[in-house]
Amino acid sequence: AQTVTQSQPEMSVQEAETVTLSCTYDTSESDYYLFWYKQPPSRQMILVIRQEAYKQQNATENRFSVNFQKAAKSFSLKISDSQLGDAAMYFCAYGGRSTSGTYKYIFGTGTRLKVLA
């Protein structure tokens, strides 16, 4: 079965600094994709960045980038020049076909990011 693990329940970063959130996953599938979602106090889930497993190039979206290590099954999120508005819960998520043929969508337990002024 597929799993997603976020080992850091909480992280803190100074404003304008860089922080990396960790995520590991487990799957026997070769065709899948990975996401990072942000959930601010408003509770709204917002997509931060998306990575297709077949793409070797790491996805980048403005100040957000990922380090995708397929062999190690690692998918970390780097936030550069952290801003107060980045404070939120961050979820790593996996989507891919299961052995039954249906797609499975699995979210990690989340990392709460605090940004210090």
Partner 1 sequence: DAGVIQSPRHEVTEMGQEVTLRCKPISGHDYLFWYRQTMMRGLELLIYFNNNVPIDDSGMPEDRFSAKMPNASFSTLKIQPSEPRDSAVYFCASSLGNRETQYFGPGTRLLVL
Interface residue with partner 1 among 67, 95, 112, 114 (CB under 8 A) is 95
Among 16, 29, 69, 103, binds partner 1 (CB under 8 A): 103
Q: Closest distance between partner 1 and the C-beta of residue 77, in Å?
A: 16
Which residues have a Cβ under 8 Å from the Cβ of 68 and sit 6 or more positions away? 34, 51, 53, 58, 59, 74, 75
| Per-residue CA distances from 97 to 5, 28, 32 (Å) | 18, 10, 7
Out of 16, 47, 84, 116, the residue judged to bind partner 1 by CB under 8 A: 47
d(CA 4, CA 7) in angstroms, rounded, equals 10
Binding site for partner 1 (CB under 8 A): 33, 35, 37, 42-47, 50, 52, 91, 95, 102-110
